[in-house]
């Protein structure tokens, strides 16, 4: 359960009258089960159910895992392993910048929801994936999505949907004196619908270092879709946690073509300062101050700033 209340000073378009306060909720219930066969094979399943249904299906994700000494086979509706492997920019208050993306009015061709991993292209569509065992800190994962449309099953018409998407990612994590260090990289490709140009090619990298109570990390993704509206996104952050307290700062930079081979690009720059306090195990309170500058190609610049209070319950 995640509950957010915010206050914001936002630039308006003619005819708009934006309220200075608002609230957000994200509530899910997870059901999971596991059994281990006599031969040591582990079979598990998970279903994520939306506790509130706002323009989405009741079931968010559902998938089956079969784990052996040779790795993990995953089948079902969920994101690929690139999302699981990749390091989000470090945080202390809440998990990702999707919240600020929901708070601030979108003024450019690209938003910032789940933008740093390949989930941006596939969502929780049906997939089959393989994750290798971890050897000397290295893990490899690969996924195949018949289509990127969640809830699609059976045959579908390739003239109406993008199709045959795949991704492959590699991750390494190792210990350093007093902490740990990790790197992740991945590649994604999908085919356009027949006669269309909605296919996608992308690659991303991320890294994170933990030393004592400090965490420093960054991620970068480059997207080159078939419609030639290319984009690049960079995220950098650092946090420090001591006991129940945490503080952090981050920066997000997006550059995206608004038209084919555009010289002037859509631009997003975002800065965030945050603090958190763990009330009891599983309950975290947070406060975030943010500034977002958006500059549509050929349009006016928008500067929005505000405060977000958060209460996160996760058991």
Compute the distance between CA of residue 143 and CA of residue 74 in angstroms, rounded to an integer.
9
CA distance 168 to 281: 35
Token pair for 197: 């140009």
pLDDT value at residue 44:
98
- In this prediction, residue 218 carries a pLDDT of 96
pLDDT of residue 199: 94
Instruction: Tell me the C-alpha distance between 88 and 278, whole Å.
Output: 20
How far apart CA 211 and CA 161 sit, in angstroms, is 46
pLDDT at residue 298 in the model: 79
How confident is the model at residue 88, as a pLDDT? 86
Q: Which of 306, 304, 314 is nearest to 273 (CA)?
A: 306
pLDDT of residue 55: 57
How buried is 94 (Cβ within 10 angstroms: 0-12 exposed, 13-18 middle, 19+ buried)?
Answer: buried
pLDDT at residue 59 in the model:
80
Which of 16, 17, 18, 21 has its CA nearest to residue 6? 21
The tens-digit pLDDT sequence of the chain (315 residues) is: 999 999 999 999 999 999 999 999 989 999 999 999 999 999 999 999 988 766 566 888 999 999 999 999 999 999 999 999 999 889 999 876 678 888 999 888 887 777 899 999 999 999 999 999 999 999 999 999 999 988 888 899 999 999 999 999 999 999 988 899 999 999 999 999 999 999 999 999 999 999 989 999 999 999 999 998 999 999 999 999 999 999 999 999 999 998 876 678 899 999 999 999 999 999 999 999 999 999 998 788 999 999 999 999 988
Identify the pLDDT of residue 194.
93
Give the CA radius of gyration of the chain: 20
- HEC readout, the chain: CEEEEEEEECCCCCCCCCCCEEEEEECEEEEEEEEECCCCCEEEEEEEEECCCCCCCCEEEEEEEEEECCEEEEEEECCCHHHHHCCCCCCCCCCCCHHHHHHCCCCCCCCCCCCCCCHHHHCCCEEEEEECCCECCEEEEEEEEEECCCCCCCCCCCCCCCEEEEEEEEEEEEEECCEEEEEEEEEEEEECCCCCCCCEEEEEEEEEEEECCEEEEEEEEEECCCCCCCEEEEEEEEEEEECCEEEEEEEEEEEEECCCCCCCEEEEEEEEEEEEEEEECCEEEEEEEEEEEEECCCCCCEEEEEEEEEEEECC
User: What residue ranges define each of the domains in the chain, with the CATH number in brackets?
Assistant: 2-313 (2.40.160.10)
Around Cβ 157, how many Cβ atoms within 10 Å? 9
Residue 184 pLDDT: 98
Q: What predicted TM-score, i.e. pTM, was given to this entire model? A: 0.92
Cα–Cα distance measured from residue 301 to residue 294, given in angstroms and rounded to the nearest whole number = 6
CB-based contact 24:94 (threshold 8 Å): no
Find where tokens 């309170």 sit. Answer: 285
* 139-193 pLDDT per residue, tens: 999 999 999 988 888 899 999 999 999 999 999 999 988 899 999 999 999 999 9
Q: What CA–CA distance (Å, rounded) separates 309 from 93?
A: 9
Cα 284 from Cα 239, distance rounded (Å) = 16
Q: Sign of the C-alpha dihedral, residues 63, 72, 200, 221?
A: positive
């Amino acid at each position: 359960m995640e509950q957010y209340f915010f206050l914001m000073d936002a630039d308006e378009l003619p005819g708009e009258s934006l309220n200075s306060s608002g609230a957000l909720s994200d509530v899910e219930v997870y059901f999971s089960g596991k059994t281990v066969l006599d031969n040591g094979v582990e079979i598990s399943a998970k279903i994520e159910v939306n506790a509130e249904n706002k323009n989405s299906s009741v079931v968010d994700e559902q998938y089956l895992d079969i784990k052996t000494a040779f790795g993990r086979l995953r089948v079902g509706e969920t994101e690929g392993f690139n999302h699981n492997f990749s390091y989000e920019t470090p945080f202390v208050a809440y998990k990702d910048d999707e919240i600020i993306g929901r708070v601030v009015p979108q003024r450019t061709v690209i938003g910032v929801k789940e933008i740093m991993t390949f989930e941006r292209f596939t969502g929780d569509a049906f997939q089959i994936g393989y994750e290798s065992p971890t050897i000397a800190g290295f893990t490899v994962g690969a996924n195949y999505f018949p289509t990127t449309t969640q809830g699609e099953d059976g045959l579908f018409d390739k003239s109406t949907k993008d199709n045959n998407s795949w991704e492959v990612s590699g991750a390494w994590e190792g210990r350093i004196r007093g902490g740990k260090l990790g790197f992740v990289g991945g590649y994604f490709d999908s085919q356009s619908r027949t006669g269309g140009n909605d296919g996608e090619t992308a690659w991303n990298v991320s890294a994170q270092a933990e030393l004592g109570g400090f965490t420093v990390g960054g991620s970068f993704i480059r997207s080159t879709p078939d419609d030639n509206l290319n984009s690049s996104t960079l995220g950098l952050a650092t946090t420090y946690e001591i006991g129940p307290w945490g503080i952090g700062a981050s920066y997000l930079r997006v550059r995206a073509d608004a038209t084919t081979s555009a010289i002037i690009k859509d631009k997003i720059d975002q800065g965030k300062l945050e603090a958190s306090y763990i009330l009891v195990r599983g309950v975290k309170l947070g406060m975030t101050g943010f500034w977002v500058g958006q500059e549509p190609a050929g349009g006016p610049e928008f500067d929005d700033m505000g405060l977000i209070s958060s209460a996160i319950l996760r058991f």
